Chain A
Amino acid sequence: MSDVYIVGVDMIKFGRYPERTVPSLAAEAALMALDDAGLGIGQMQALYCGNLGQAGGMVGQRLLAEIGQTGIPVTNVANACATGATAFRDAWMSIKAGVYDVVLAVGVEQMGKGLLGGGAGVSTEGLIGSGTMPAMFAQIGMEHTRKHGTTFEQFARVSVKNHFHSTLNPKSMYRVETPLEQVMAAEMIAYPNTKLMCSVNVDGSAAAVLASEAAVKRLGLMDRAVRVRASAMSSNPFAERQLAMPDFSAATRLAAKSAYEAAGVGPDDINLVELHDCFATAEIVHYENLGLCADGDAGRMIDTGETQLGGRVPVNVSGGLLSKGHPLGATGIANIYEVATHLRGAAGERQVEGARLGMTHVVGGGPGMGTACAIHILEKV
């Protein structure tokens, strides 16, 4: 099976674009990624398009209507917060399978403001706990507190770090430093997550052009290429409390294990990570889920600055979902853009020096639904 490479990748600056349409946001990122590769839509053999909000709305076909209807197969993908990464992985699989050798993957989302969660029918909110995403991830943090004594302050430090990182990223929605006292004193949403410890609902899009080794050589693009060393996915295995609280850790651990095995590397080999910091509490538990530290050691890891730019394994140097923003369907390709940019040595002020291997992680789902996790390991060529 051929190695698969990213030869073009880009994202729009995340923000609020209520006057735009979903396909137009997707088209902008698609053209940017094609330009990055120096290729045109006419050279793409298939399109994998991730979007959640209009999952029934043929976003991929409408995207092609904006940039060129070449008649290629389109697969529209929806998979919670792993939507974009799933589209990317489907593109990767199509090349691995030898069906195509140059394909386009796009992730896009246009979101409203406000709390996510809840559902149709008679509301149980407040009567049977809470169905909001902040409450769900607050409980995940409190479970870590129960097991390991992790403090409010340690969770808050994640936001301090990621907000600082975002000041170095021109494509981030917010680019404002927030001292620890400010993070902790912000409006409490669901303890221990304050408003500054919740990710930002924004609009955004990101895209990648993937190619087989033969195609990369034929097109003369090896100088732009980033190798996909591993693509792994999982769903939530049975978890004891799954009917009461969704489990994001077991799925992440499963996908991480298969990604490390497929790449033939371990956590110590990874130079930077973009992981799913939908809430500050989530980043802490994923340090352990991804094997970046031993179980129970995540609080110490944030305290000592190991995951800060310049530290042992910088995490979310893009600003993360907490500051860059979290347009659900775009997030999984945007974090691939971030890691690929570092591996190309093109990340400017926030460059992780000497980066050779990077990991991306997204995991999503909801109460009573289940979990989708996708992990990619990318390598400098």
Chain B
Amino acid sequence: MTIDTTGDAPPIVPFLKRAANGLPYLAGSRCEACGHVFVGERTVCAKCAARDRMVAVRLAETGKLYDFTVVHRSFPGVKTPFVDAIVDLDDGSHIKGTLLDVDPDPKTIAFDLPVRIVYREAAPVNTGGKPYLTYFFVPA
């Protein structure tokens, strides 16, 4: 795990949290009935419909690149190109994010590339430069 953040920037999404010691982690839920691991907290399983069988977990921080696109046109102010990636984490959960530290050329990006999660502060396009805590994927 790489943490380039020591500040108190607020997490950009609800499932990105800080532990009591300040270290970030991704919050998930595992269904004890069917075993599916979801990103984020929840109380009912969308897969098997079990109720009150969800346990809070910390998501894995390594995984493999399942799918991606290279985004060249985005909303005004967003720097392009960037790689929009879907990663299968090693705990069986699936998460979307931006893949850094690769050439944004689809011919050079391999499916199943091993990746890991890093936590960094970055300014969203619509917060007037105010930084938020976010996560990225980088090649493992």
Q: Footprint of B on A, CB under 8 Å?
A: 115, 118, 122-130, 132, 134-135, 138-139, 141-143, 146, 187-192, 195, 238, 240-245
Contacts and interface: CB of A to CB of B under 8 A. Distances in A.
A127 B122 contact: yes
Interface in B16-51: 36, 38-40, 46-47
A132 to B, nearest CB: 6
Given A146-B111, A189-B72, A192-B106, A128 B126 contact: no
Contacts of B111: 146
A124 B72 contact: no
A124 B13 contact: yes
Given A191-B106, A192-B106, A146 B75 contact: no
A188 B95 CA distance: 25
A125 B97 contact: no
Given A139-B69, A190-B71, A245-B67, A129 B96 contact: yes
A244 B95 contact: yes
Contacts of A132: 71, 73-75
Interface in B78-107: 78-80, 82, 84-88, 94-98, 106
Nearest to B125: A123
Contact of A128 (B47, B66, B134): B134
Contact of B79 (A126, A142, A143, A240): A126
| Residues of B contacting A: mostly | strand
Interface residues of B, number: 43
A121 to B, nearest CB: 9
A146 B86 CA distance: 12
B69 A125 contact: no
A118 B40 contact: no
A126 B67 contact: no
A243 B98 contact: no
Nearest to A243: B39
Given A123-B124, A126-B82, A189 B73 contact: yes
Given A128-B13, A128-B98, A130-B84, A243 B71 contact: no
Contacts of A243: 38-40, 94-96
Contact of B124 (A122, A238, A245): A122
Contacts of A142: 67-69, 106
Contacts of A118: 75
Nearest to A198: B73
B68 A139 contact: yes
A245 B73 CA distance: 19
Nearest to B40: A243
Given A238-B47, A241-B66, A130 B74 contact: yes
B2 interface: no
A130 B71 contact: yes
A245 B80 CA distance: 20
A190 B79 contact: no
Taking each of B71, B82, B132, which has the highest tally of chain A beta carbons within 10 Å of its own beta carbon? B71
Given A125-B124, A129-B86, A238-B46, 9 more contacts: A124-B134, A125-B74, A128-B96, A129-B97, A191-B69, A192-B106, A240-B36, A244-B94, A244-B95
Interface string B107-126: 00001000000000010111
A132 B91 CA distance: 28
Interface string B56-67: 000000000011
B97 A190 contact: no
B134 A123 contact: no
Contacts of A191: 69-70, 72, 106
List the 10 closest A-B pairs by CB distance, nearest first. A138-B69, A129-B84, A126-B78, A241-B94, A244-B96, A130-B84, A191-B70, A244-B94, A188-B72, A189-B73
Contacts of A240: 36, 94
B43 to A, nearest CB: 15
B67 A122 contact: no
A157 B94 CA distance: 31
A125 B70 contact: no
B25 to A, nearest CB: 16
Taking each of B73, B86, B135, which has the highest tally of chain A beta carbons within 10 Å of its own beta carbon? B73
A192 B70 CA distance: 8
Nearest to B16: A128
A128 B97 contact: yes
Nearest to A194: B72
A115 B73 contact: yes
Nearest to B83: A129
A327 B102 CA distance: 37
